[in-house]
Amino acid sequence: LFSKPWVFIRGVPSLKFLPPEGPPEIAFAGRSNVGKSSLINALVGVNGLARTSNTPGRTQELNYFVPSGYSGDEGDLPPMALVDMPGYGYAKAPKDQVDLWTKLVFDYMRGRSTLKRVYLLIDSRHGLKKNDEGVMDLLDKAAMSYQVVLTKTDKIKAAGVPRLISETLSALKRRPAAYPEVIATSSEKGEGISELRTAIALAITL
Ligand code: GDP
């Protein structure tokens, strides 16, 4: 899955532009600046595929990536797609933009039968914030399976990682749609990337 180069196929500003349901999809969500683009780049092994440091809060699109070499025609569908969801929690985002985000993401999650799991990225330095909790409320309400991925673990002390994992796990206990394992990653150091690939490869078979 991750040995080929991946390509961007489309940006989806509203649900009518979604590709027809086909291969299993895995989506990524997280606060602006959480390290989502860096993680997707590390995952698919191509730099600059998902734009890093895009203007926070601006791109309100679901960005679709697939392994290269598939026409997308019937009979030649890719084995899976990755969907980069717009970042949230940008301090200066006006309320109507937040509402738009919520509507796009919630409608997508609820209506997409091929969406297998959402990976929710949390910055290791900050832990779960109020707007992350809000997104988890949405995911639980949509009965959408999700798994937490800690990012930028190289930015905290190594000894703090197991503690952060167990704190996060206990916060997830009362959440019905949360997967009871957390993956700790550093895109910078390449840590946790193969673990995340394995988890994704399993999730698309569910
Ligand atoms: P996005 O807004 O969630 O897509 O975040 P980006 O991937 O653009 O990353 C935001 C900032 O965090 C950039 O300056 C990245 O270089 C930095 N960053 C991302 N991942 C890591 C990481 O694993 N370790 C460190 N130290 N910095 C990271």
Residue range 122-157, pLDDT digits in tens: 999 999 999 999 999 999 999 999 999 999 999 999
Q: How many CB atoms lie within 10 A of CB 194?
A: 11
Domain boundaries along the sequence of the chain = 6-203
187 lines ligand 1 (CB under 6 A): yes
For ligand 1, atom 12, the nearest C-alpha belongs to: 35
Threshold 0.80, pTM exceeds: yes
Q: From the CB of 36, is ligand 1 less than 6 Å away?
A: yes
Cβ of 59 closer than 6 Å to ligand 1, yes or no, is no
C-beta 125 within 6 A of ligand 1: no
173 Cβ neighbours under 8 A, 6+ residues apart: 180
What local confidence, expressed as pLDDT, does residue 70 receive?
Answer: 83
Whether the CB of 41 sits within 6 Å of ligand 1: no
Average pLDDT over residues 2-7: 85
In ligand 1, the atom with minimum distance to the C-alpha of 33 is 2
Architecture (CATH level 2) of domain 6-203: 3-Layer(aba) Sandwich (3.40)
Residue in the block written with tokens 């832990």: 127
Q: Is 52 in the pocket of ligand 1 (CB under 6 A)?
A: yes
What are 24-70's pLDDT values in tens digits?
999 999 999 999 999 999 998 766 666 644 555 456 889 999 998 88
Q: Which pLDDT value is given to residue 53?
A: 47
User: Cβ(168)–Cβ(153) under 8 Å?
Assistant: no
Rounded Cα gap, residues 64 and 151, in angstroms:
21
Cα–Cα distance for residue pair 18/22, rounded to 1 Å: 11
Question: Three-class SS string for 54-118?
Answer: CCCCCCCCEEEEEECCCCCCCCCCCCCEEEECCCECCCCCCHHHHHHHHHHHHHHHHHCCCEEEE
Q: Whose CA is nearest to atom 2 of ligand 1?
A: 33
This complex has an ipTM of 0.99
* Cα of 141 from ligand 1 centre, angstroms: 29
